[in-house]
Amino acid sequence: IIADKGQHRHFMAKEIHEQPSVIARALGAWISDDRQRIACAAEAVDWARIPRLTIVACGTAFYAAHVAKVWMERVARLPVEIEIASEFRYREPPLPARGVTMVVSQSGETADTLAALRYAKAQRQVTLGLVNVTTSTIAREADIVLPIHAGPEIGVASTKAFTAMVLCLSALAVMIARKRGEIDGAGERAHVDLLSTVPRLMSETIALEGQFEALARDIAEASDALFLGRGLMFPLALEGALKLKEITYIHAEGYAAGEIKHGPIALVDEATPIIALAPHDALFEKMASNLREVMGRKGRVALIGDGAACRAMADEVWRSVTLPAVDPLLAPFVYAVAVQFIAYHAAVAKGTDVDQPRNLAKSVTVE
User: Three-state SS string across 247-285, please?
Assistant: HHCCEEEEEEHHHHHHCHHHHCCCCCEEEEECCCCCCHH
Q: Measured from the CB atom, is 41 or 360 closer to ligand G6P?
A: 360
Per the DSSP assignment, residues forming a β-bridge with 323 are 306
Using CA atoms, how far apart are residues 91 and 86, in angstroms rounded to an integer? 9
Q: Which of 5, 121, 350, 362 is catalytic?
A: 362
Among 22, 27, 61, 291, indicate the residue that binds ligand G6P (CB under 6 A). 61
Among 21, 36, 197, 363, indicate the residue that binds ligand G6P (CB under 6 A). 363
Among 29, 265, 267, 364, indicate the residue that binds ligand G6P (CB under 6 A). 364
- Identity of the residue numbered 268: V
Q: Measured from the CB atom, is 58 or 310 closer to ligand G6P?
A: 58
Q: Measured from the CB atom, is 60 or 272 closer to ligand G6P?
A: 60
Residue 362: active-site member: yes
Q: Measured from the CB atom, is 59 or 199 closer to ligand G6P?
A: 59
Q: Measured from the CB atom, is 102 or 278 closer to ligand G6P?
A: 102
Q: Measured from the CB atom, is 68 or 283 closer to ligand G6P?
A: 68
- Identity of the residue numbered 344: Y
The least CB distance from residue 362 to ligand G6P, in Å, is 6
Q: Contacts with ligand G6P: how many residues (CB under 6 A)?
A: 15
On whether the CB atoms of residues 160 and 153 are closer than 8 A, the answer is yes
60 binds ligand G6P (CB under 6 A): yes
The least CB distance from residue 143 to ligand G6P, in Å, is 18
Choices 22-30, 34-42, 106-114, 215-223 (CB under 6 A): range interacting with ligand G6P: 106-114
The SS3 assignment for 309 reads: helix
Using CA atoms, how far apart are residues 356 and 115, in angstroms rounded to an integer? 26
The least CB distance from residue 308 to ligand G6P, in Å, is 33
Using CA atoms, how far apart are residues 167 and 162, in angstroms rounded to an integer? 9
Among 19, 54, 107, 159, indicate the residue that binds ligand G6P (CB under 6 A). 107
Q: Mention every residue, 6+ apart, whose C-beta is less than 8 A from residue 243.
A: 157, 339, 340, 342, 343
- Which of 152, 219, 159 lies closest to 13, judged by CA? 159
159 binds ligand G6P (CB under 6 A): no
The least CB distance from residue 63 to ligand G6P, in Å, is 8
Among 19, 54, 113, 205, indicate the residue that binds ligand G6P (CB under 6 A). 113
DSSP 325: P
**Burial call 309-329: b when 16+ CB within 10 Å, e when fewer:** bbebbeeebebbbbbbbbebb
Residues 128-157 that bind ligand G6P (CB under 6 A): 156
Among 19, 54, 101, 105, indicate the residue that binds ligand G6P (CB under 6 A). 105
* Rg (alpha carbons) of the chain, rounded to whole number: 20
Residue closest to ligand G6P when measured from CB atoms: 59
CA distances 255 to 104, 227, 322, Å, are: 23, 6, 21
Report angle CA 153, 156, 158 to the nearest 5 degrees.
Answer: 60
Among 19, 110, 272, 352, indicate the residue that binds ligand G6P (CB under 6 A). 110
Using CA atoms, how far apart are residues 171 and 195, in angstroms rounded to an integer? 8
On whether the CB atoms of residues 295 and 269 are closer than 8 A, the answer is no
Strand order in the sheet with 80-84: 80-84, 53-57, 100-105, 126-131, 144-147
The least CB distance from residue 138 to ligand G6P, in Å, is 8
Q: Measured from the CB atom, is 115 or 313 closer to ligand G6P?
A: 115
272 binds ligand G6P (CB under 6 A): no
Choices 32-40, 54-62, 201-209, 277-285 (CB under 6 A): range interacting with ligand G6P: 54-62
The least CB distance from residue 218 to ligand G6P, in Å, is 25
Which active-site residues does the annotation give?
362
Binding site for ligand G6P (CB under 6 A): 58-61, 105-107, 110, 113, 156, 158, 360, 362-364
